A and B are shown apart, each in its own frame.
Chain A
């Protein structure tokens, strides 16, 4: 039985049952992952938003689309720029090829842009599932640790033939610590997941809107040339 010394967090961890320890470590790892993903996504989304803003500015500035394509195609790009590059590549291939194929060009360009949007959204959404899982399963995992810890402490009561609070309290405190860690991991995960999902939706809508606009521009070009 632990002495009456004040129970620090480390004591709580050290005295816990092996399974409770595993639960605690697992939840700690999950929490580290959640925060890592959150930090990464926060940076990614703000970067993506800034890139979209600057691209839209360049696109609507009246600059020649050929020049813009040449400037962007040389280096790998993401989101809206990637969408533009993919559409332009398909356009140029169809225009510059010897047998000019205007017939299915409109459809091909839309398909290409569709695929690029899916790829970009997939890139933005990557790892969000981890947040969702931790957010929903974290409390349950913590609860499992608590139930197991309380089971253990009740077995200790049975073994000691004593129900004094001093016997019961440390075990229950350890057990509840597992739920605490579970909640600590799950609450930020849920909050970040909700925020990121709405961010991804906003950016997907923006990409979709640009794709429609660009498709309309190219369609007009095709009709003029065809």
Chain B
């Protein structure tokens, strides 16, 4: 028994010694490799410069400014510039706004204290044109209404009710004058043009999609469509409509969206090397902000 104990003790001592010498835990290798980080500059987000869609591309974008004042975005750069926006004829003029337009007008007059040659010239231009129903551009009085006193609907006189004025707008205001508009959209605000591929796709679809007019609830017209694309930018399968609605307006919007998707192809703005990103996309056709992906 004693020999057995001796053998056992010696064996344990040997194993312990060996483990003390050789089983020292090595610290885990610390990896000092940096994580790959992609720097995304602000311009890589979708931004659209202010300007007109048809203007030549300029290196430094300058928004169209015809009047030095607080910058105010213009809605339709193609419309004519007038001093004051004309109020469209309503059937019954509400009594309250009688006095209201006067105040902002006087404010504006003060703001426009420095003489603006462009605005003046434009105003003269306007004045020269003989327009039968058009109200005088200058006076602060509310525009005249062509509506007859008795609101009687006469189908034969519909033509007389039509607004025959040219579309007009206020002069674009900004910090510095600039008569040569650069490429961009009227609601863009960025100094540099940058558009992601998907944004380009959305922009094309937004041009092709016609929103049915007169919808009471625009949120009913939101159409969510999933499309699968081939690497050449064409549709790989018919678009799948993911939202449903019952109203005929929704169906019109949906059909228009599907037509827009077919008419828009090939989507050559999508680069083949990024095919994985855009081979299966969902696009939201939303009349509120026109289009959103």
Contacts and interface: CB of A to CB of B under 8 A. Distances in A.
A40 B8 CA distance: 10
Interface stretch (B21-29, B47-55, B132-140, B215-223): B21-29
B153 interface: no
B20 A6 contact: no
Given A6-B24, A6-B25, A31-B12, A36 B5 contact: yes
Given A6-B26, A6-B27, A7-B25, A36 B20 contact: no
A105 interface: no
Interface of B: 1, 4-5, 7-9, 11-12, 16, 19-20, 23-27
A39 B271 CA distance: 77
A40 B4 contact: yes
Contact of A39 (B4, B16, B23): B4
A35 B23 contact: no
Contacts of B1: 36, 40
A65 B26 CA distance: 69
Nearest to A37: B4
Contact of A9 (B7, B11, B19): B19
B31 to A, nearest CB: 16
Given A32-B9, A36-B5, A40-B4, A8 B27 contact: no
Contacts of B7: 35-36, 39
Contacts of A128: none
A60 interface: no
Contacts of A33: 5, 8
A28 interface: yes
Pick the most buried of B1, B4, B16, B23: most chain A CB atoms within 10 A of its CB.
B4
B9 A36 contact: yes
7 contacts: A4-B27, A8-B24, A8-B25, A28-B12, A33-B5, A35-B12, A38-B8
Interface residues of A, number: 19
A34 B7 CA distance: 12
Contacts of A9: 16, 19-20, 23-24
Majority SS of interface residues in chain A? helix
Nearest to B11: A35
A8 B20 CA distance: 6
Interface in A35-53: 35-40, 43
Nearest to A35: B8
Given A4-B27, A6-B25, A32-B12, 14 more contacts: A6-B26, A7-B24, A8-B20, A8-B25, A28-B12, A31-B12, A33-B5, A33-B8, A35-B7, A35-B11, A35-B12, A38-B8, A39-B4, A40-B4
Contacts of A40: 1, 4
Nearest to B6: A36
A43 to B, nearest CB: 8
Contact of B23 (A8, A32, A43, A173): A8
Which of B8, B11, B20, B26 gathers the greatest number of chain A CB atoms within 10 Å?
A: B8
Interface in A1-46: 4, 6-10, 28, 31-40, 43
A32 B8 contact: yes
Interface in A143-189: 173
Nearest to B26: A6
Contacts of A37: 4
Contacts of A39: 4, 7-8
A131 to B, nearest CB: 13
A7, A35, A37, A38 interface centre (most CB from chain B within 10 Å): A35
A6 B29 CA distance: 12
Contacts of B4: 36-37, 39-40, 43
B8 A36 contact: yes
A170 to B, nearest CB: 10
Contact of B5 (A6, A32, A43, A173): A32
Contacts of B20: 8-10
A9 B20 CA distance: 5
A43 B5 CA distance: 13
Contacts of B5: 32-33, 36
B97 to A, nearest CB: 67
Interface in A53-81: none
Contacts of B12: 28, 31-32, 35
Most B CB atoms within 10 A — which of A6, A32, A33, A36?
Answer: A36
Nearest to B23: A9
A40 B3 CA distance: 8
A173 B27 CA distance: 13
A9 B19 CA distance: 7
A7 B11 CA distance: 23
